[in-house]
Structure 1
Amino acid sequence: MPRSKSDLPSKLCPVCQRPFTWRKKWEDCWDEVKYCSERCRRRRAQAKPEDDSPQVRE
């Protein structure tokens, strides 16, 4: 029986913070997939977690 789209696993992209769902081309490497697109993968160096940024208090 086919799966519905709502039943597919999903992850959150660390670059754009958008959810993305499992794709057939990621079938063998889903655990290693981190980014939703090639664009986000290329921009990964620009994405910095908010926890690592220094807090400036006056």
Structure 2
Amino acid sequence: MPRMRRKHELPQKVCATCGRPFAWRRKWARDWESVRYCSKRCRGRD
């Protein structure tokens, strides 16, 4: 089993709407390259 990573070790991006940095999440593992927003709220604002 792979070892756990700390949050600061995960890849990060900047949200296209609010400009805040957000970290990789397991649910985004398949399409991390296409993730642009940190939340559903930011996705709805753009």
TM-score interval, smaller chain: 0.7 to 0.9
Q: Once the two structures are aligned, what percentage of the paired residues are identical?
A: 52
Kindly state the Cα deviation for residue 22 of structure 1 after the two structures are TM-superposed: 0.3
CA-based RMSD: 0.7
Poorly superposed stretches of 4+, deviation over 3 Å: none
Matched, 1:28 2:25: no
Larger radius of gyration: 1
User: Deviation digits for residues 5-24 of structure 1, max 9, x if unmatched?
Assistant: 11100000011110000000
Task: Tell me which of the two structures has the higher relative contact order, counting C-alpha pairs closer than 8 angstroms and 6 or more residues apart.
Answer: 2
Unpaired runs of 5+ residues, structure 1, are 45-58
5+ residue gaps, structure 2: none
TM-score by length of 2: 0.87
* Correspondence for 1:11: 13
Alpha-carbon distance in 2 for matches of 1:33, 1:27: 10
Q: Please give the TM-score of this superposition, normalised by the length of structure 1.
A: 0.71
Distance apart, 1:2 and its partner CA: 1.6
